[in-house]
Structure 1
Amino acid sequence: MNVVMERAKSAWLLAFGDVITLLITFFIMAIALNKGEISKVQRWVDDQVTESYQVLADEIKQQNLQVIKVNRTARGVLLSIQSDNAFESGSFRPTEQLSQELETLGKVLKKTPLLNILQSEDNRQVIGRAKEDGMQWYSEIRVEGHTDNDPINPLSRLRNNYFLSTLRAESVMQTLYRASELPAQLFSVSGYGEWQTIADNGTDDGKRQNRRVEVLISASFQKIN
C-alpha cells in the first residue's frame, strides 16, 4: 500500500512539475512575443522619424538655409538655431534672416511625413492596430530656448536668462505655427535659460554654442489611460 501511495505521490509531483514547466515556458514565450511586437513597432516609428529627417535635410540644403541646421538624434529630428545672426542683440526678436528661414521651414514642416502620418493608408492601418492594443500615436514639435550665463542688463525688461530663452522659443514657435498651418496642439515651448549647457561658458565659443533655440520633432506610441 505504501509503495502504491509513494508511486502516486511521485506521479502527482511529476505531473505538477510538468504543468509548472509548461506555464513558465508559456510566460517566457508571451514575453518574447510581446517584446518582438514592441521592437517591431519601435522600428516602424524610427523609420518614420528617419524618413522625416531626410526630407527636412534635403529641403534645408535645397533652400540653402544658413541659420537653421538639422540632425537626426536618439530623441528625434533636431533643428538647431545657433548663430549670432539669429536674434537681435540682447533681444528675443528674430533677425530678418531667421524670420525668412523660419517661414521657409514652416512650409517644409507642413509636408513632413511624421507630421502628416495619417495621409498614408499603410500608416493608418498601423496606428489603428496599435489603438486596438491600447496605444495612441503621439507627435510633437517642441521648441526649447537656451542662453549662456551672461547676466541680463538690470534695466532690461527681459529680467533674466530664463525669461529671454522662453521668449525666444516662443517667437520661433509662433512663426513656425503660422507658416506651417499645423494644429496648435502639436507645438509646445520651454525655456531653460543657462541651465542646460552644451559647451563651456568660460569661453566665447562656448557661450556662442550655448545661445541657441532647438526645435525637436518627435513621435511615439503612448499607452492610453
Structure 2
Amino acid sequence: MSARSRAKKGWMLAFADMVTLLITFFIMIIVVNKAEINQLQKWSERQIDQSYLYLQSNVSLQNLSLLDVTRVPQGILLRIQNPLAFESASYQPTELLSSQLNEVGRLLSDTPILQARENAEPSKVIAKAKQNGFEWLSEVIIEGHTDNDPVDPLSPLRNNWFLSAMRAQAVMQALYTNSGLQPEQFSIMGMGEYHPVVVNSSAENKNLNRRVEILISAGFQEAQNI
C-alpha cells in the first residue's frame, strides 16, 4: 500500500469518527431535551392538580350551585349547566348566575396556574424554562352551547351560534372584571347546537345541552422567535 493510500484511508477513518461523535452528540441533546420537557410536563400537571383542588373546594364551600368543577385531560373544566343560569333565548345571566360568576372571578385571581408568574417558586421554574426556550401559557377558554330549538327569526340574536357566543361573552366579561387577569388570557367560542352532550330528544336533555363551559388550562410551549 502506497503512502498516499494509507493517508487517504487514515483521513476516511478520522472523518467517520467525527461523524460518529456528531451523531452521539445530537442523540444526547435530544435525550436531554426530552427529559427536560417531561419534567416541565410533570410540573405543569402538579400545578393543574393543585389548582383543581383549590377551585373544587372553594366552589363547594361557597355553595356556587350553578357551577360544576371537573378535572379533564386539558385542564380544569367549570360547567354552567342549569336552567337558572340564563333566561330562555337570552344571553343575559340571571342575578343568581351573575353573583356566582363574580365569586368565580375572584377565585381565579388566586388560582395557581393563572397566577404562576406572580408567585415566587413557580416564577423561578418559568424563568428557568424560558432560558431553555419554553414559554408558560395559561388561558381561560369559554364555550357557549345551546339546544337545537330555533331562534325566533325576528330576534336580534339571529341564530343559536350568535346566542351561544353572546352567553360566552357575558360569562367572560364577568370573570375578566372580577379576576384581574390579563385580557389575552381569555378567549370565547360560540358552538351553537352542534356539540350536544346528549340527543335533543326531551326538555331534560335540552337543559343539559344549554350550557357554558369554562376551560382553564396551562402548560409550556416552545417559544416563538419573532
**How does the TM-score come out when normalised to structure 1?**
0.89
Instruction: Report what 2:224 is aligned to.
Output: 224
Higher mean displacement: 199-208 or 91-100: 199-208
Deviation at 1:17, TM superposition (A): 3.5
Aligned to 2:58: 59
Q: Deviations over 1:105-146 (max 9, x none)?
A: 111111111121133222221111222233332211121111
Instruction: Give 1:66 deviation, angstroms.
Output: 1.3
C-alpha deviation, 1:173, in angstroms:
1.1
SS of the equivalent of 2:115 reads: helix
Q: Which string of whole-angstrom CA distances, capped at 9 and with x for unpartnered residues, describes residues 174-200 of structure 1?
A: 111222233333222221111223322
Match for residue 210 of structure 2? 211
Amino acid at match of 2:78: L
- Paired residue for 2:119? 120
How far does the alpha carbon of each residue in 1:132-175 deviate from its partner, in whole angstroms, 9 at most, with x for none? 23333221112111112211122322110011001111111111
Distance in structure 2 (CA, Å) of the matches to 1:179 and 1:122:
25
Could you tell me how far 1:31 is from its partner in structure 2?
A: 0.6
What pairs up with 1:6-25 in 2 under 5 angstroms?
Answer: 12-25=11-24
1:66-97 superposed Cα distances (whole Å, 9 cap, x missing partner): 11011111111111001111111221111222
Tell me the CA shift for residue 14 of structure 1: 4.3
Residue 46 of structure 2 corresponds to residue 42 of structure 1: no
Q: Distance in 2 between matches of 1:77 and 1:83?
A: 19
Is the partner of 1:195 in helix, strand or coil?
Answer: coil
Q: Partner residue of 2:193?
A: 194
Aligned to 1:138: 137
Q: Please tell me whether residue 178 in structure 1 is matched to residue 177 in structure 2.
A: yes
Partner letter of residue 28 of structure 1? I
Q: CA deviation at 1:16?
A: 3.7
Q: Matched residue of 2:172: which SS? A: helix
**Which ranges of structure 1 fall in alignment gaps of 5 or more residues?**
none
Residue 194 of structure 1 aligns with an amino acid whose one-letter code is E
Coordinate RMSD, CA, aligned: 2.1
Q: Where does residue 152 of structure 1 map in the other structure?
A: 151
Indicate the SS of the match to 2:79: strand
The CA deviation at 1:224 is 2.7
